[in-house]
Amino acid sequence: MVTDVGRVVEFETGLRWRVLFPELEHVAASGYLRDLAASDCSAGTLRSYAYDLLRWFRFLHGRWTPWDRAERIDVREFVEWLRETPVQQRVRRRPDVPAPGSVNPLTGKTSLGTMYAARTINHQLSVLFGFYEWACAADLGPLVNPVPAQRTRSAGRVAAHHNPMEDFVIHQRARYRQKTPHPTWRAIPDDAADALFGALRSHRDRALVSFWLSSGVRASELLGLRHGGDLDAGAKTITVVSKGSRLRETVPASVDSFVWLALYLQEGPPVEHGGPVWWTRQGTPRPLTYHAARAVLQRANASLGTNWTLHDLRHTAAARLLADPAFTLFDVQTILRHASISTTQIYTQPRLEDLVAKVLEHHARPRPARPVIEPTYDESMVRELLGLPA
């Protein structure tokens, strides 16, 4: 039985995210998270790892097992628990939220399932493996890491001496690792994108969606724009902090995006050098967060009966760029700022709706007529010349 003891707390000074378990700061978890912070991991990564550690500590607490006495069998039963236990946040959904695992009839997209996804379980195992590796090196935990390591069939470190021009290939899954589906993508059709844009309620929302559709930047990257250097209306570019590298990179955007931005700025949001570009519209202005931006899209989805996500807008931008013969695959990789070209190649896969249209067109096309012998030729002589039966 897994209890609700412990929690993850955000601090303003020092280590930003910490695990309190049961009520005091977990020294080992903080040491590991502090090590990650010193390795230049983002605050979002630290928060995610903290919650993964808390889930593991709660599981062990229900088994009366200290974290530094965990064994391989505990990891196995933890994976079994993750595979069989529903996610409580999805079970306690609002009445207007679609049932987990249901398919939206308009978009064809499946909502998140009730159980933990395979990628979530694999991420959990990766976090625990790193945590115990750090604990072993610091002489805090067991002598042997209880979490199986991810290894290839060949000896040595994963991806050692990897050729950067080739895809990463894991030849063998580590024990307890789940099979993950092949990565897919979903762009919003043009007519659906127009309907989504028409359902937005303000110039701010239209400017946001227009930038996402034209530049392909991630949702959090666009929300991080600041006045005084991130916007260049003359060059039609924006400068964002990339999610992975956290480098400031310039990305082109459409003219329409800057027009909607100008209309939004005329409404009077706070504008100060170095301050956020995007603000809330109700009550006292506050910087627009990711969850607030997602709520904007959810309101539009509710009016249309769809379930598009913010990341679908990035997929749509990639699909539109790749559909233009003026752009090469490397051009799109540069705009999307993918570290590997193999990630950009995912967007070259045909979409199901495109294949359906092609198949229907194929079956509707009349069959070509069979070749016949021209009436002006003697049929018997032609057959004898070609060696055909009479």
Query: Do residues 100 and 249 share a domain?
Result: no
State how far the alpha carbon of 373 is from the alpha carbons of 239, 378, 381, 384, in Å. Answer: 68, 9, 11, 13
Average pLDDT of the residues of the chain = 88
Is there a domain that residue 29 lies in? Answer: yes
The answer to whether residue 179 is catalytic is: no
User: Which pLDDT belongs to residue 160?
Assistant: 57
Mean pLDDT calculated for residue range 276-295: 94
Active site residue 123: no
Q: Report long-range pairs for 308-312 (Cβ below 8 Å, ≥24 apart).
A: 308/107, 308/109, 308/188, 308/192, 308/196, 310/212, 310/219, 311/218, 311/219, 312/186, 312/187, 312/188
How high is the pLDDT of residue 154? 44
pLDDT at 111: 78
Given 311, 358, 377, 383, which residue is catalytic? Answer: 311
Catalytic residue chosen out of the listed positions 314, 315, 320, 337: 314
Q: Tell me: do 221 and 332 sit in the same domain.
A: yes
Domain contains 264 = yes
Structural domain of 337: 190-348
Q: Is 36 a domain residue?
A: yes
- pLDDT at position 93: 63
6 pLDDT higher than 80: yes
232 in a domain, yes or no?
yes
Distance of CA 295 to the CA centre of its chain: 18
Report DSSP letters for 70-109, one per residue: --HHHHHHHHHHHHHSBPHHHHT--TTSPPTT-B-TTT-P
Overall number of domains in the chain: 2
Structure tokens at 220: 């959090």
The answer to whether 338 is a known catalytic residue is yes
Q: How far apart are CA 232 and CA 248, in angstroms?
A: 14
Residue-level pLDDT at 286: 95
On whether both 95 and 207 belong to a single domain, the answer is no
What CATH code is carried by the domain that includes residue 279?
Answer: 1.10.443.10
Is 0.85 topped by the overall pTM?
Answer: no
* The predicted structure's pLDDT at residue 164: 62
Tens-digit pLDDT profile for residues 147-173: 998 764 444 455 556 666 666 565 578
- 141, pLDDT greater than 90: no
Domain end (from 76, 110, 137): 137
Q: How far is CA 192 from CA 162, 180, 199, 302, 343, in A?
A: 42, 29, 11, 14, 25
| Residues 192 and 284 sit within 8 Å (Cβ to Cβ) | no
Convert the pLDDT of each residue in 93-126 to its tens digit. 666 667 777 888 888 788 777 889 999 999 999 9
Residue 112, in any domain of the structure: yes
Answer with the one of 137, 153, 172 that is the final residue of a domain. 137
Would you say residue 234 lies in a domain?
yes
Looking at the structure, do residues 17 and 108 belong to the same domain, yes or no? yes
H/E run at residue 335: helix 329-336
Q: Are both 217 and 329 inside the same structural domain?
A: yes
Count of positions (residues) in the chain: 390
Nearest to 53 by CA among 140, 5, 124: 124
Q: Give per-residue pLDDT as tens, 20-70.
A: 999 999 999 999 999 999 998 988 899 999 999 999 999 999 999 999 999
Is there a catalytic annotation at residue 218? Answer: yes
Per annotation, catalytic residue among 55, 218, 315, 320: 218
pLDDT at 203: 97
User: Considering 16, 72, 90, 338, which one is annotated as catalytic?
Assistant: 338
pLDDT digits (tens, 9 = 90+) for 298-316: 999 999 999 999 999 999 9
Q: Decide which of 92, 110, 137 is a domain's last residue.
A: 137
Is 347 designated active site?
yes
Active site residue 294: no
Scan for tokens 């993964």, then name that residue.
52
Q: What is the mean pLDDT of residues 225-236?
A: 94
48 and 195 co-located in one domain: no
- Do 194 and 339 have their domain in common? yes
Average pLDDT value for residue range 223-252: 93
- Same domain for 220 and 132: no
Question: Do 197 and 124 fall into the same domain?
Answer: no
The answer to whether residue 374 sits within a structural domain is no
For 267-292, what is the mean pLDDT? Answer: 94
- Per residue, the 3-state secondary structure of 295-329, as one string, reads HHHHHHHHHHCCCCCHHHHHHHHHHHHHHCCCCCH
Q: Are residues 209 and 321 in the same domain?
A: yes
- 116 and 15 in a common domain: yes
Buried b (16+ CB within 10 A) or exposed e, 207-221: bbbbbbbbbbbbbbb
| Weakest-pLDDT range from 9-13, 193-197, 222-226, 375-379 | 375-379
Residue scoring higher pLDDT (331 or 4): 331
Looking at the domain assignment, is residue 365 inside a domain?
no
Of the candidates 243, 281, 299, 351, the residue annotated as catalytic is 243
